[in-house]
Amino acid sequence: MNGDENFSYSAAIIIADEVENDTFAADIMASMKISDNGRLNLAYFDTERSAGNQFTAALQIAGFNGVLEYQPDRYGDDANINLTLGYSLPVSDSMTFNAQLGMNDVGDNSDDDQTPMRYTLGVDQQLAKNVTAYALLDVDSLDNDAANEEETTVAAGIKVNF
């Protein structure tokens, strides 16, 4: 992130991400301090996957975070609205444990009574000022295939902010 502690911004290019099945993605984020231990993050994410681009607003206060995600549909059908609540626990000065529970497509008015859920556990390890290694386990009850079965993914990688 560039900037100071009150306002910062970053851009990231992701070459491959197994969790989202992307081969190329771009992420632009701005972060603003709203209290001594709280931040508001706004992000725009553009990707090759079928969901297209998405807009994200995240509120972080004392390790707790809430994320509201809006994904317009490329084909003019329903847009997705996703809600995620989570907690980040610092394990050391450079390592953080993350846990999240998400509800996908909360704006869906279809006839099914099930709200697809997503659970994520992960660890972030800061390697350098703008370089972070991550590992995560992601369980998503909404899969994009016709069977609509649960999908579990284990991923690891390196994120570079510039």
pLDDT at 67: 84
Residue 40, CB-side half-sphere exposure with 13 Å CA sphere: 4
Q: Give, in degrees to the nearest 5, the angle at Cα 152 between 146 and 154.
A: 135
pLDDT at 16: 52
Element (H or E) spanning 47, and its range? Answer: strand 38-47
Q: In this predicted model, what pLDDT tens digit does every residue of 138-154 receive, in sequence order? A: 887 754 444 456 678 88
Which has the higher per-residue pLDDT, 157 or 13? 157
How many Cβ atoms are within 10 Å of 80's Cβ, its own excluded? 20
| 23 pLDDT above the threshold of 90 | no
CA–CA gap between residue 6 and residue 29 (Å, rounded):
14
pLDDT at 12: 65
pLDDT at 20: 53
CA–CA gap between residue 21 and residue 4 (Å, rounded):
33
Q: In this predicted model, what pLDDT tens digit does every residue of 24-83 receive, in sequence order? A: 556 777 878 888 778 888 887 765 554 557 778 888 888 888 888 887 765 656 677 788
Q: In this predicted model, what pLDDT tens digit does every residue of 80-128 receive, in sequence order? A: 778 889 998 999 999 999 999 888 765 555 545 556 777 889 999 999 9
Domains of the chain and any CATH numbers = 2-160 (2.40.160.40)
Whole-model pTM? 0.60
Q: For the residues of 104-142, what is the DSSP string, one character each? A: S-TT--SS--PPPEEEEEEEEEEEETTEEEEEEEEEES-
pLDDT at 145: 46
Q: The tokens 């996908």 sit on which residue? A: 104
| Tokens at 54, concatenated | 């998405």
pLDDT at 14: 58
pLDDT at 93: 92
DSSP three-state, residue 37: coil
